[in-house]
Structure 1
Amino acid sequence: MIMASSRLKHFMLDEIADMTMEDEMDLASLGEKKRAIFVCTPVNDTSFNYLVSMMYMQAFQQLYDRAEREYGGRLPRHVRFIMDEFYNTPPPDRFDNVLSTCRSYNLSCAVILQDIGQLKTMFEKEWESLMAQCDEFLYLGGNDTATHKYVSERLGKETIFSKTTSQTRGTHGSSSQNDQKVGTELMTPDAISRMENQYSILFMRGERPVFDEKYVLQKHPNVQWLAGDGKAKAYSPPEHIPFHKYHVEIPADEIDEKYKPEEIGGVLFEYFVIPPQSPQKGE
């Protein structure tokens, strides 16, 4: 009992109990209609980041089940998980298995990391297998030496022609010329470390690497929906999480506007906010 109480202590907090007491997100419907769910976590408090991992696993399990039971193993609408700050959240259980199977269910994962070292830390033995299961690898730049070396080796080598000539002057002078093919790195780790910020390198399975300029976000037609570069208002997390204990129904006119789903450009946006840690009652 003590062990169970210790492991479940966070679920005794009012905010967490309120968030997890019932299913209000219907994750299985992600594969049936346009929806966007943003999972917002505090930058300076990782106490509850395990909830993100739990949500990932719940979503994968429900989507797999819905695809198999109702759609013959493939969801009608593609579902994409954009896992930004992946290093700062506990990875979903058996994530290597998820990466190897999700494509057949019409799911995909975009894992965003600062460098290869973070992946090695999270998956000491499986990191190479995880990399191999990704059809695309996009390098945006960075300062990690190990990542520079990895990208350089993955780019491979190019063949150049080398010509060497020598000449001896004198009574019996002579000259010679030697032509040969030499393999050299397409980009050295040093060259990759000095790559200008406007460029990126894209690897795609079965294709040659692509060295290209990054897309300028300000040119996107939907930038108007963003704060800062666009005209939209900045999102501010709610100051409190309404606690409706024992499933008490709240009249619609009393629900905080910040918690209502919002439709933007034909897409339904919902917000799932993890609150900062707060002391239990009596502490």
Structure 2
Amino acid sequence: DTATQLTNTFTNTIYYDANASDNKYFNENAQKAVNALIFALLEQADQTGDYSKLTPNNLVELLSEIGGFNYYPDPENEFKQLNALDEFMNQLPPGNIAKKQYGATKIGSDKAKGNILSTAITGLNPFTLTKIAKMTSQSTIDYKSIGFPKYLDLKLHESLLNQRIVVEFYHKGKKFHEERVKVGYRGFCEINFDCHLEQGDHVCLKYNHQGKQYVAWYEFSQKVLKDEEGKIVYRKKRGETHLPELEKEAVLTLDEKKSNLLVESIRMHYTDKPMAIFMLTPDYDPSNHIIVSIFLSQLYKELSTQCVKTKGDKCHRRIHFILDEFGNMPPMDNMEGIMTVTAGRNMLWDLFIQSYQQLYAKYGEQNAAIIKENCQTHIYIMSTDDNTIEEFSKKVGNKTVEQENSTINSLGMNTHINRNVDSDRILTPERISTFLEGETIVLAPLKRQDLKGHKIRPYPIFNHGETNLPYAYQYIEDFNPSWDINDIDIHCTHADLDLKALQIDYDYFLPDEYAR
């Protein structure tokens, strides 16, 4: 189920288009066809035990090589031609998930099938670029650690499926924290914890069965982290490069004398350091922006999955998504659903757009409205879109204006005075469209408490004059926009990656000897 969900997240980000209309059929079935190929690659990896070849680059090559390969099963019969991909899917057993996903493509007409596979290969086009192929074939980012910096991964005997394991943490012999977890598929367990550990603390795994207790005692320590070449890894701070910090990794040492519970493998990730991930995408080439959307969708999916497994149902570390030019990014899968629940999961989203119209154009009217409604704070800086300007002007509200009219006779004397009460905008569209630098409007309709917890009415806020929004250079002492990314040393493990070394064995996907 997890593999299916992750696969759908990946492909839906590529092929979902709220404005597809007539192309919706081809987009949906292209997604299913690619799902089928991913599951086929996954089954091959299960058999070989080598998951390093399960990459988008191999996915593209498999679709190109096998999907477009036709052959004659009988050399003497030139009228019977078969497609290698169709035949591979045919020979899979009934109920196979790859076979079911490919079904709509197979039963369609030759023209429809051609359009589906053409749509599929077009969606995967960014992964054909060598740099992107390398980057997506190897990664050092641990998605889970972004929201859960402290966790245990362990494997017990698969016979313990659905059994409850208690994890206890001890400091100087006294228990100070406890977690409970049920053993998952094939004996795998994930325990996310949020407590501070010191050198020499202990972690104890406990399992009770038929009145007998099984335990595994581990001592916690940290050692200096080294890279693949055996060199010590340092982390440098800006302004303190002369004081590099040593990177450390957690180590658990089994106390065999106290332990009688068989733990096949155990690994702890432990850090208190903050983390920031910067996604740099060229504004002059939006063709690869899909990579950003895929990364965000996969990250959200992993963090949400971990939230469900964690006491409190939220990330232990707050996640702040700061998405500049969100309106120019490809649509994220189920963004309207994401926005309704993430605040409770300790995830915040800052979406920067040029106008509300960008949102409607990208996600469609209905989904865009849901995304917009679930943004608890709207900040207007400047826009040239009339609809956006009008909406902010209207939401700021109206004021009462008293008008006085007088009638003057031929002698120049007032003979009659009329007073009328009318309504006018507090901030007119004309005023909003000509904001000075630093002026902003803040709409926070759900903010009904002040900093001291007192109840307040969520009136709109107009920042101007003394409350102007300050620019970064005005309060950040070392603000320097002229920094060059080339001056930063970025350790890149995939730069010298040999894609040929990760190439799959195509014979596995060729159904008979005539195809080979």
Q: TM-score, normalised by structure 2?
A: 0.43
Structure 2 residue aligned with 1:148: 389
Structure 2 residue aligned with 1:137: 378
1:218 aligns with 2:218: no
What amino acid is aligned across from residue 141 of structure 2 in structure 1?
M
Change (3 A) 1:87 1:174: closer
1:234 aligns with 2:478: no
User: Aligned equivalents of 1:228 and 1:50: distance in 2?
Assistant: 27
What amino acid is aligned across from residue 151 of structure 1 in structure 2?
F
Structure 1 residue aligned with 2:347: 107
Could you tell me how far 1:108 is from its partner in structure 2?
Answer: 1.2
Contact 1:15 1:243 (8 Å CA) reproduced:
no
Structure 2 residue aligned with 1:274: none
Contact 1:167 1:174 (8 Å CA) reproduced:
yes
Could you tell me how far 1:204 is from its partner in structure 2?
Answer: 0.8
Change (3 A) 1:112 1:7: closer
Q: Report the secondary structure of 1:97's partner residue.
A: helix
Contact 1:14 1:243 (8 Å CA) reproduced:
no
Contact 2:406 2:414 (8 Å CA) reproduced:
no
Deviations 1:126-176 (A, max 9, x none): 222222111111111122222221211221211122333435577xx9844
Change (3 A) 1:174 1:46: closer
Structure 2 residue aligned with 1:166: 407
User: Aligned equivalents of 1:187 and 1:135: distance in 2?
Assistant: 21
User: Aligned equivalents of 2:470 and 2:443: distance in 1?
Assistant: 16
User: Aligned equivalents of 1:25 and 1:196: distance in 2?
Assistant: 42
Structure 2 residue aligned with 1:209: 460
Q: Report the secondary structure of 2:283's partner residue.
A: coil
Q: Report the secondary structure of 2:427's partner residue.
A: coil
Q: Report the secondary structure of 1:59's partner residue.
A: helix
Contact 2:407 2:417 (8 Å CA) reproduced:
yes
Runs (5+) with no aligned partner, structure 2: 1-66, 69-116, 150-273, 447-457, 502-516
Change (3 A) 1:181 1:6: closer
User: Aligned equivalents of 1:117 and 1:9: distance in 2?
Assistant: 28
Could you tell me how far 1:198 is from its partner in structure 2?
Answer: 2.5
Change (3 A) 1:35 1:71: farther
Structure 2 residue aligned with 1:117: 357
Contact 1:87 1:113 (8 Å CA) reproduced:
yes
Task: Find the partner of 1:243 among 480, 488, 496.
Answer: 496
Deviations 1:225-283 (A, max 9, x none): x4337xxx432388x961323799xxxxxxxxxxxxxxxxxxxxxxxxxxxxxxxxxxx
What amino acid is aligned across from residue 440 of structure 2 in structure 1?
S
Deviations 1:21-69 (A, max 9, x none): 2442112222235211000011211221111110010011011011111
Q: Report the secondary structure of 2:424's partner residue.
A: strand
Contact 1:227 1:234 (8 Å CA) reproduced:
no
User: Aligned equivalents of 2:383 and 2:391: distance in 1?
Assistant: 12
* Aligned CA-pair RMSD: 2.7
Structure 2 residue aligned with 1:188: 428
Q: Report the secondary structure of 2:287's partner residue.
A: coil
Change (3 A) 1:10 1:142: closer
Could you tell me how far 1:197 is from its partner in structure 2?
Answer: 2.1
Runs (5+) with no aligned partner, structure 1: 249-283
Q: Report the secondary structure of 2:282's partner residue.
A: coil
Structure 1 residue aligned with 2:505: none
User: Aligned equivalents of 1:142 and 1:210: distance in 2?
Assistant: 18
Could you tell me how far 1:189 is from its partner in structure 2?
Answer: 1.2
- Per mean C-alpha deviation after superposition, the further-off stretch among 41-50 and 56-65 is 41-50
Contact 2:320 2:348 (8 Å CA) reproduced:
yes
Structure 1 residue aligned with 2:326: 86
- Sequence identity, in percent? 22
Q: Report the secondary structure of 2:431's partner residue.
A: helix
User: Aligned equivalents of 1:228 and 1:198: distance in 2?
Assistant: 19
> Which entry has the higher C-alpha Rg, 1 or 2?
2
Contact 2:320 2:349 (8 Å CA) reproduced:
yes
